[in-house]
Each structure stands twice: as C-alpha cells, then as structure tokens.
Structure 1
Amino acid sequence: MLSPNSSRRLGQDWKTTGTGGSLQSLKKFKNQDFCRLRASCLSQGLLFEDDTFPAHVSSIGPNLLSEDKLRLIRWKRPPELQRNPHLIVDGVSRFDIMQGEIGDCWMLVALGSLTLQKRFLENILPKDQGFQDDYAGIFHFRFWHFGDWVDVVIDDRLPLLNGRYLSVHPRTSKEFWPSLLEKAYAKFRGSYQNLHGGYISDALVDFTGGVQVRFSLKDPPSDLEEILKAADRSHCLMGCSTSGQLRNIELRNGIVQGHAYTVTGAEKIRYKNGWEHIIRIWNPWGHGEWKGPWSDGSPEWDHVEPTNREALCRKKDDGEFWMSCENFQEHFSWLYICDSTPTFLDFGDQNRTTWSVDRHICRWSPVLTTGRNNYSPAGALSRNPQCFFKVTDYDPKTYNVVISLIQKHADNTLDAQKLKIGFLIFRENATVLKQDFALARDVTNYFILSPGIYAVLPVTSGDEKFEFLLRIFLKNQDYNGEPNYPLSPVLPKDEPRLDQDSSCKTIFLRYTNQGSVIDASQLQQLLNEEVLQDEMASLGGRFSFDSCRSILALMDLNSNGRLTLQEFGRLWRHLTKYMDIFKREDRNHSGFLDVSELKNAIQTAGLSINEQLLRLMVLRYGDATRRIGFSDFICGMLRLETMADAFQNLAEGGPQLSMTAIEWLTLVMYS
C-alpha cells in the first residue's frame, strides 16, 4: 500500500509521457540546427567547422592513445582522402563496416544489425545530405536519448593516425557513412574515448528507442531457440558477446574472447534425418570466423538440401558464419535482442498480438539498504515514487510484462553506469513479487504475471538524486487491428432510468426472504435485477459478489455483515444520484465513462480529485481500455465519497492527522 509521503511525491514528481520520442519533434543536440548551419555555410562558401566537437585532442579523449600518438593525429575531410567520395555506395550493408583502432565493437554490432532493419536505419541516417548536392562539410545523424530523439550535427573532419583511420573504416574506400555516423555517436557520447568499451544493450537502445533484453547463454531460458526464431521473424536487432579477461584474443576455433558480434539470422533446417537449429553471426572486424561445425565449407553442409545450402552458405571471409545453437551457447556468454516492443517474446502465439507501453520520468531519491545487496522495501516505499499498472491478458505459458528502467545521471556522463539500479514489483497486498538489480544504465526484465494491479518501485544504491525513465510494456492478446473490446451500441436517448420514486421499502422487503436485513448475496441479486434493468447501466457488466460485499461493507454502519432498511435507504439514495450523474456524463450513450468523463462525474458529485487519484481509480475500477462501466462506477464512487467523509471525521478529531484529503484518498482508493 502507498504511504502518505510517497503519495504526495507521486502527484508531484511523475512525468507520464507517450509511447516514445517522436522524430517529428526532434531535439537539437548542443542546440545546433543542421539546415540553418548548412545554409549559412553555403551562402558564405565555407566548409562547416564544429566548435562543439572540434578537430582536436579533446574530441579524441586524453586516455585513448599515448601522448606521442595523440600528437600524430591528423584530421581530414573525405574529399581530401578520395577524389569522388560518397555517403552511401550501392545501399547500406553490414559488410560496409570494418572496425578500426577504437574498441567500439559493441557499437558496431548494433550498427551492423541496424543495416538489416531499414525501418530503424532510416531514423538514424537522414537522406537529406551527401557530397554531391549542397555539400558544405556538414552532416547529421539521429539517436534516441532518454525518451527523445536528438539530432546530432558534425563536421566531416575524420581523425587519422599515421595515414590510417583511427575509427571505423568502410570496406569500399569511397563510402563514408560508417565513419561519419561513428563520429556523430562519439560526439553524442562525449568523445571517441567513450566509445572504447561499452555495452551492446546501450547502443541497441540508442539506435532504436526500443526495449532490449539480455539473455544469459550460460543459464539460458528453456525457450531460447523459440525466442531466437521469433526475434528473427519479427526483424529485431540482435547481438551477442563472448567472455574472457583477455580481450580480442582469437582462439584456435576462430572465436574472439572478450568481443562482441552481431546475430544476423536464426534458422531451423533439415539436416540428415532430423532438424538443426543454426545461428548466423557477424564479426565487426570484417574478418575472422568460426572454424567448427556449420562454418563456411564444413562437412555439415553436405547433408543439407542444395537449395538451402546455396541460400545460406557463403564461402567468403567477410566475418560472417553459421554455427549450431548448441555451439552458440557453449562459446558465447550473452545474447541481446531489441525491438520497438518485445515482439521476440511472442513465440508460440497463434493470434496476432500487440504491446502497449507506458513511460514515466521521475527524479530518483536514494534508498536505505539493509545490507550490501539487499534493499529495504520500507525505505524504498518512503522515498521513491511508485508506478501502477494493470494486467488483464494472461497465459501461463507466455510472457506478458516487460519492465525497463534507464538511469540518467545529472551531468549525463558515463559515471551513471557505476550505479547499481533496479526495481521491485508489488502486488495489491504490498508483497514483493519480483526484483531485479544490476550495475548498468539499463535494467530490463520480462515476466509472466497473473491478472491484477501491480506497482513498480525503482531503487538505486546511489546517494544522489538524478532522473530515471521507467517503461512498462504490457501484452494485449487477440489483437486484430481493432479495439480488443466489443463496441457498444448507440442507445435511444429515452431509455429507462432508475426510478427515484420507487418504494425503497418495497424493494428491500422483496429480497429479505421475510427477514429484516439483507446480506451480500441478496444485495447482488437486488442490484442486478432492479438497477441493471436499465439497458445502459447493464452494458458495463453485472455486479459481482465481491463488489456487492465491498458495497455492503461501506454502507454497514453496524459492522455485522448485513444491511438494515435504514442502511439500504442510504445506499439507494446514492444509487439514484450516481445513476443521474453517470447518464449525464455518458454523452455517447456507450454505457461506459472514459477518463475525462469520470473526472467530470466525480467533480459533479462535489468531490475533490487530482490526476494521480484519477489514474488510480481508473486502474482500480477500469477495464483494459481504461473505461468504467456503471457497476464499477458505483463501487468506486461509494468508496470515494465514504472515505472522503471518513477523512473529514478524522480531521475534526485533532491535529495528529498529518496529511491532506487528497493524500488520504490516494492512500485508500487503491487498496
């Protein structure tokens, strides 16, 4: 349950945004406008020189090379290196890339995977630039940063050491998109030095704005092969890495230790009398391949149908090779998969599915710990905001929730990667169900959660405040491009209403079975038969037994589990009032209230409401589409009004109550 203090921060600190940053509302990195700067250079006949990322040692970084080598760095533009340079030659391919002196294989792995997915590549690499038309020595590229797309402007001066590219260099000498994109990413990260060692997961997210999940290949999920095939089928970006204290050491089998690779395909093919799962992998060095089973020219290919063999096997030293899924798990340590939504978890689904996502940006507060690796839920609850979500679709065999937490350091430096971050997942009874912690910028995990309302609590081991981005992906099943709920018919405007003049006593006695009180079961029958005779009210569903038990508890002044005639009369007056309000706000006669209509209804009833309390009510009483039917509306309004009255009574009792009415209602309306 929420604490009063955390309730207050929820209302003040959370910034809830849409599904992702938009390319139509780009942010300008360093406040540089590409079109304006290029136009200025063209009008003056000048080549652009970027003062924010100059052709200077400061852009390289002080620790990437020795002082002697740093003094030998020379910066040259592509027209100085080639007579007729091009940004792109014959399309963009992973085989255009060859890693240079910088240890940025992690970034090139993501870039290599990006070339296979044009829908992402076009976001990163704008088409309005080149060396032929309007050339002014200026280029720009786009990256996703903490929920927004940013446009990064660079000049085209590239660093060379002893006449060789310091950074990535293209396989085709006249093609420069890899080198220029890498320079833009170096500027985005602060320097070329900051590309020397990094995380595949970071680059995948920066290039797509998507969600990535890391899978351990030493302790893989039982459905790893299905995940790989689903990821390949849905065109996800994929990478993998090897372990090893000594980096870039090539073993006799051709695999490089401490190195990153791109996963470029996954196939299940006929082999001899059975089937074989094979994985295609690419080395960003542009050479150096696996020499074991299923490598180029290995005897395993002799037992594959000729058409498959010709389509899959390329006998070329281009850094790309096949290997069995078994060998893949044996020689690699981690697999990374990324997409706009977690489509790679949709394997086995016969129905078309979609994922919805909620994004929340907030400022972190330090959390007290109970030990070296244990976080105190009580301390966390009292210090950090919580985010609520509702699970409706559930299949015990498929993942339906993915939670991604990204930290943003105050000064946006790489120091953020030194902090351990994570999150706790709570159920309604405040039980900690799941927790995940890691020393990384991005902590993401996937779950199978049963229907219900949950809270996510981000925590950190840091002792300073900084921002974080929390994204919650929820799977919606049976999606066919239309809303996953039946459309309500339009009703005539003169539909019957709850009769305010009916004899309350007559109705009450009809359901008491000759007694003087009614219980929850009798109340359920009464409400469904008397109240829901109104066709509009019945569209939102019937009153459940649990709902009636809750209603009874709110109206039961004697706390004996029964309603007397007097208590029922008070309930009946509420019902007639709420029916009038519901009918007035349901302007399209759908039988449901959306969020804005619910807000108006609450205010019409004379009750206080804020956005956080409204969101909690929708989560608690709404359906998967955030609409509230009449029966749920009655339950929510009765509780809201009763708890508001309870607060007023408590507040009149003395000064010991140290919370506002809204804090009190936020506390009790979710429970």
Structure 2
Amino acid sequence: MALLSFLRRGKSKPRGPSCRGAFQKPNKLLHQNYETLLETCLKNKCLFQDENFPADLRSIGMGSLLQKLPPNLQWKRPHELHKTPIFYTANTRRLDLCQGLVENCWFLAALEALTFHRDTLAVVVPQNQSFDRKYAGIFHFRFWHFGEWVDVVVDDRLPVNEAGQLVFLSSVWKNLFWGALLEKAYAKLYGSYEDLQIGQVSEALVDFTGGVNMTIKLAEAPPDLWDILTRATYSRSLMGCQTHLGTARVLENGLVAGHAYTVTDIRQVTCKYGPENLVRLRNPWGKTEWKGDWSDSSWNWELLSPKEKILLRRNQDDGEFWMSLQDFKTHFVDLMICKLTPDLMSQEDGKKWMYSLQIGRWVKGSTAGGRMRPYKDTFWMNPQYWLKVLQGDGSKRSLHSCSVLVSLIQKPSSKHRNRAPHLPIGFSIFKVGPEYHKSNKRLAPAFFARNPSVNQRHLFLNEREVTQDFRLQPGVYVIVPSTAEPQQESEFILRVFSRKHILHEIGGNSSFILSKEIIDKHEGKIWEDFFNKHFEQHPEINAVQLQRILNNVVWTHLQSFRLRFSLDACQGILALLDLNATGTLSIQEFRVLWKRLLFYLEVFQKKDVDRSGNLDLMELHAAVHETGISLSNEVCNLMAIRYGNPDLKISFESFVCFMLRVEIMGEAFRNLTKDSKGIYLQESEWMMMTLYS
C-alpha cells in the first residue's frame, strides 16, 4: 500500500477542520464528480466534453511548447485512432511508455517507477475504466496534491498530428491509452501541458504516492549507498535519477545531459574477479542508452556465468541498460528516492509510525522572518511548532534516540506550476528546556540567540520539498520553517514522521492539524528482520535451508489453507533463481523470490474462488492472466498436467514453481531474441537453461 493508504486514527483528536485528503475520499478537482458526470452522459447517450480543460490551445498553454506543435493539430478520441483501444491491461510490460513533445522526462521517469507497484498504481489509475463497458468518453485519475488526494476528471480527446499519431505521451502498444490520459489529467491539475515542461522526478513521485522524498547528491554519496539502494528496492520505494547538465544533448557515452531516468533494478553479479554492484536504468525516450561498461554490447558480460548473462542482459535499444554503481555515481548528479514507508534510513525494530501534518503560511510583515542567519532579529517571527518526541513502542533503539523525519513542502500561489518559481526554503530544529514546556507563547529572539539548532547543516533549497532525517533524544523541540529571505510569502505543509510524537503550533491556530498512526502491514516488511538475521548467519542457503525458512513463515493473510513446501519444490525454486550457478541462494536472490511469492499468493487467493487451496483449470487460466503473462490455452492445459494432481488441480506450491519457470523462461527469450520470433543459443547455454532451471 502507499504511504498514506494504511493510516488509522491516533488517540489524540485533531483540532480545527476535519481531516481530509489522504485520509478520506479524495477531493474533486473543480468540483467535478466522475460518477455523476459518467451517469449523466450515459443517460443522455453523449460523450463527455470537459469545458474546464477544452480540446484547444488553451489546454496546451502559452509558451515554447506551441512552437513544437505539428501543423493542423487535431484532437481525437481513442476510438478514432484505433479499432480496439484499451485503457489499461496487465498483459503488457511495465515500461511501455514513450515521451512526446512535452519535455517532461521527469514526469515519465516517475510514472515508470510507479508501474513497479501495482497496488499504488491502482490508486492513481482506477482500474475499473474501459472503452467498452459504461464508456462515455470520460476518465479519472487521483493525485496527492499538497496534503490531500484529488480526483481529476478528463475527457478522452487527445492531441494528434495529421497522421493520427499522439503528439504527447504515447505507448509502445498503439492501442493502449492509460498513459496519455494520465498525462492529460496531470496537465489539467497543474494548469496546462506547458506547465509540465520543467520539473523534478521527486515532485511527480510524491504526487503519485503521498510519500516522502529523499535526494542524495551522488558526488557526496554516503559510504552505504548500496545498502540504501537495496533497502529502497525491497521496501517498496520509487527511484529516479538525473544526469549532469551539459552543452551536448546526447553525450558520447550515450547518456542524455540534464535528463531524468528511472531506476528499475539493482543487482550484485558474480564476476570472475569478484562481485560487482550494478544499477539498471531506463531512458523515458524508450531509446538512446549508455555505451560504457555493462552496457548492452559491453565485453563485461562475458565475465558472468551463461545463465546470469542470459537473464540480465538484453541487447536491444529499448532505453533500458545496466551500469556499474561507480559509473552511476560518476555520471549522475542526483538520486531521488520516494519512500512509501518512512523508515528507509532507519533500521529500528518495530512497524508503527506516527505521522503529523500541519498547513501554515509565511505572511509578509507578520510570519515571514527569513532564515536564522543573518536575519536573527526577524527569524523568531516565522511559524513555530512544538515537537514532543516520545519513546516509541516496541523499538529497541528508541530508548536513547529516536528516528525523526521532517518534510517541508511549499505550495505555489498560482495554479500554473511553472509561473511562480520555487522559493529557497528550509527549517531549523532547537531543543527546548523544561522552563518553556508549559508556555504556549512564541519563543523570543533571546531564545534563538542562546540556543544552537540541532541541525547544524541548514538546507535552504529552491525546490518544492526539503526533507531531513534526524536521530533525536526523547524530549521537547521547536521546528521553525522559513524562507531563506524575509518578507517572502507562501503557503507550506509541514510533515513529521517518528515512532511516537506530538506536534502542534505555538501560539497559533493552524488551519489544518492532523496526527495519525501508520502501520506497515506489508508482509515483506514484517519478515525483513527475520530474513536478515538468518542470512547474517548463513550468507548462502541451500534447498534444505530454503525449505526450513519458507515453512517457518507464518503467512498472516492465508484464508483457508496451510502452506508447505516440499524439498523437491525448493530444489526446483533454487535452480530457477540461482543465476550464478553456485547451488545456493544469496539474500539478494531470496528477496527476488520473496517478492514474487507475495505477488503469487495474492493472485492465487484472488482466483481460488471456492477457497479449496487449489486452482482448477479455469481458475488457473484466470490466475495466469491476472499476473500479466500471456500463455496459450494449450500451454496452460499442459502445465496443469505437468504441475497438477491427477484431477488437474494445482496447489500454491506448484503454482509458484510453474509461474517462476514461466517468468524466467519468458525473460530469457525476450533478452535473447532479435526479431521476437526465435533465439540463438550455444550448446552449453542451452544445457544450462534447460537442465538447471
């Protein structure tokens, strides 16, 4: 689930207006109700036309984008562009979107990161929409917009050239339109397509999730960067990155200067000289790739085992490529990680977090005092917030210090996102002595003159969001958000995450006060500590140890049957996932398995309609389709014979073995084929792929 999707009320009641946004039904942008408009159009037998975002140049915007438009621009509905348009289907590869004339690689890089998280994607892109059932030319999408979820309605008229080709975002699959319609809804939210020309990956990631953004300057990357990437990959975070600015658009090494990319995977491979950490990236253009070490045509792939090379390397100009971690740090300037749970940087035990959100404003002549230095005489005028950090429940490390994450977001005054540039913003945190605890008066200049701030490094960035992680001892603190310069006006959102805390404004009456409890119920997170401890003792596990781990897991969401894995099944699973042919699984390979197990279990239970603990032939067909894999009826029937019992019913254990084989063999074919029709393998490679898998 997304960060703000599994919240429940804390004990304290919020003051002021009732909580809205992420915690209740989303607001309706411009008061347009999708269900009401849909039913009205169906009743009147007409197609929806959105007067609030019309099919003309007003929606394109007034700027440089107009100069790029083709002559005779037209607006057409998908039914006019393709005989069988499809809104969304799971039966396509994740990365099937291509950038159009809008220079919004940042938006597309974030959107492609979102496609790795089906549950979060389903929040942004409601799946019960189509061009067939209850079609009326109207669609809707949801975005987290400055503290609340907003439902945005659009009609399906899209700008095309004379040849009927989409001029903005499109799909590799010409009859697939969810991406183009989502881009249109996002443009409507922010004013126009022109307003999407400039942006940051981090902004779109937060808009898609309501998560918390963290930016790492790769030139100053922490020594545990690989560990951070690993935790981000397996803790359901979304990642994007940005290259350095340059004079040439496409550099000699194949990278695009000043361009956003999606981080799609990481992998530690086993070379002949030792392990190598690799990062996989994708260019939103859907083409133009890195040409250095570990690129598609690099000699480095010959250092790997045949199986590992086949399953990782794809020699196609599809925009996706691998590079070493060192090259990644050298050639990219920023790594943006959007955390769907706030504990990426913290390795505390415990799964509960408190979340507080407050809306405030810097007002000229009143609450816009600027930063502490050099404006010490006016700094105290800024809004001030008490933060009482409490010892968290069930957290071993919080006895002495607590992990606290603070996020400050500025909200522009104009609905057009690029018409008002971001102000440099930041915040300071001060420890407050007991003599001030009972007072609700704003702290005076003398307090700030005598007390140094906790965050010695003050970040004032002209970005939409500034985020910092802290380790604070239990006690009382004051947070002072400010602009870098005094007398600068803006509305802002202050968010605080910790195991347990209380947050309120000093001497003020906030327009919005909210405190909630976050419970991370994701099965993968619940068992992460257990797996880490096991692999600390046994860095590589064999089939017997794998069986012991899987059969000791308490599957909390099982409805009607108990999971047991046989040794034979575990030997088969190990052979499929053991890419470097060691006869064992590393924690990296096990995490891949665990992620797939959770997904397969969700699909299995959804399609096991009679709750028998087995899938019959019809349920098996439905389950395979649900995973997004296309198999012919003939192959599916044969797999029921191969993996099923005498009644052709398949248990979850057999379903896992079957689906892993389908996915891995499918990936091998796609990586090896040149024409999507056949592949070429040497005999040793053929033997490895068919016998040890």
Q: Give me the TM-score of the superposition, normalised by structure 2.
A: 0.63
What is the identity, as a one-letter code, of the residue corresponding to 2:497? F
Partner of 2:454: 433
Tell me how far 1:198 sits from its aligned partner: 0.7
Distance in 1, matches of 2:128 and 2:175, equals 19
> Is 1:444 paired with 2:445?
no
**Is the 8 Å Cα contact of residues 124 and 141 (structure 1) preserved in structure 2?**
yes
> Is 1:59 paired with 2:59?
yes
Larger Rg: 1
What pairs with 1:200-219 in structure 2 (closer than 5 Å)? 200-219=201-220
Partner of 1:466: 490
Partner of 2:46: 46
**Is the 8 Å Cα contact of residues 141 and 153 (structure 2) preserved in structure 1?**
yes
**Is the 8 Å Cα contact of residues 363 and 468 (structure 1) preserved in structure 2?**
yes
What do you get for the CA RMSD once the two structures are aligned? 3.1
CA 67–411 in structure 1, closer or farther in 2 if over 3 Å, else same: closer
Partner of 1:404: 407
CA 370–53 in structure 1, closer or farther in 2 if over 3 Å, else same: closer
What is the identity, as a one-letter code, of the residue corresponding to 2:373? N
Larger RCO (CA under 8 A, 6+ residues apart): 2
> Is 1:364 paired with 2:358?
no
Partner of 1:290: 290
Partner of 1:256: 256
Output one character per residue of 1:94-137: Cα deviation in whole Å (capped at 9) or x when no partner.
42101111101000011000000112101100022110111111
CA 286–396 in structure 1, closer or farther in 2 if over 3 Å, else same: farther
CA 251–449 in structure 1, closer or farther in 2 if over 3 Å, else same: same
CA 69–611 in structure 1, closer or farther in 2 if over 3 Å, else same: closer
SS of residue matched to 2:245: coil
What is the identity, as a one-letter code, of the residue corresponding to 2:292? G
What is the identity, as a one-letter code, of the residue corresponding to 1:433? V
SS of residue matched to 1:54: coil
Q: Give me the TM-score of the superposition, normalised by structure 1.
A: 0.65
Distance in 2, matches of 1:427 and 1:420, equals 24
Tell me how far 1:15 sits from its aligned partner: 6.0
Distance in 1, matches of 2:492 and 2:426, equals 11
CA 418–100 in structure 1, closer or farther in 2 if over 3 Å, else same: same
CA 398–87 in structure 1, closer or farther in 2 if over 3 Å, else same: farther
Distance in 1, matches of 2:373 and 2:120, equals 39
**Is the 8 Å Cα contact of residues 68 and 101 (structure 2) preserved in structure 1?**
no
Tell me how far 1:385 sits from its aligned partner: 2.8
CA 370–283 in structure 1, closer or farther in 2 if over 3 Å, else same: closer
Partner of 1:79: 79
**Is the 8 Å Cα contact of residues 384 and 505 (structure 2) preserved in structure 1?**
no
Output one character per residue of 1:165-191: Cα deviation in whole Å (capped at 9) or x when no partner.
221111001111111111111101110
Partner of 2:479: 456
Tell me how far 1:411 sits from its aligned partner: 3.7
Distance in 2, matches of 1:410 and 1:66, equals 24
Distance in 1, matches of 2:327 and 2:487, equals 43
Output one character per residue of 1:39-68: Cα deviation in whole Å (capped at 9) or x when no partner.
111111111100000001110011133469
Tell me how far 1:413 sits from its aligned partner: 3.8
Distance in 1, matches of 2:178 and 2:68, equals 29
Return 5+ residue gaps in structure 2 as ranges.
1-13, 434-450, 510-693
**Is the 8 Å Cα contact of residues 101 and 166 (structure 1) preserved in structure 2?**
yes
Partner of 1:131: 131
**Is the 8 Å Cα contact of residues 117 and 236 (structure 2) preserved in structure 1?**
yes
CA 68–125 in structure 1, closer or farther in 2 if over 3 Å, else same: closer
**Is the 8 Å Cα contact of residues 97 and 169 (structure 2) preserved in structure 1?**
yes
Distance in 2, matches of 1:425 and 1:306, equals 54
Distance in 2, matches of 1:69 and 1:186, equals 16
SS of residue matched to 2:135: coil
Tell me how far 1:225 sits from its aligned partner: 1.3
Partner of 2:633: none
2:427 to 423, 432, 450: 423
Tell me how far 1:311 sits from its aligned partner: 2.9
Tell me how far 1:358 sits from its aligned partner: 1.3
CA 145–316 in structure 1, closer or farther in 2 if over 3 Å, else same: same
Return 5+ residue gaps in structure 1 as ranges.
1-12, 477-593, 596-609, 616-671
Distance in 1, matches of 2:194 and 2:479, equals 36
Output one character per residue of 1:434-489: Cα deviation in whole Å (capped at 9) or x when no partner.
1321101111122233343222111013635432110111157xxxxxxxxxxxxx
Which region of structure 1 is more displaced relative to structure 2, 293-302 or 43-52?
Answer: 293-302
Partner of 1:147: 147
What pairs with 1:335-354 in structure 2 (closer than 5 Å)? 335-346=335-346, 351-354=349-352
Tell me how far 1:614 sits from its aligned partner: 14
SS of residue matched to 2:152: strand
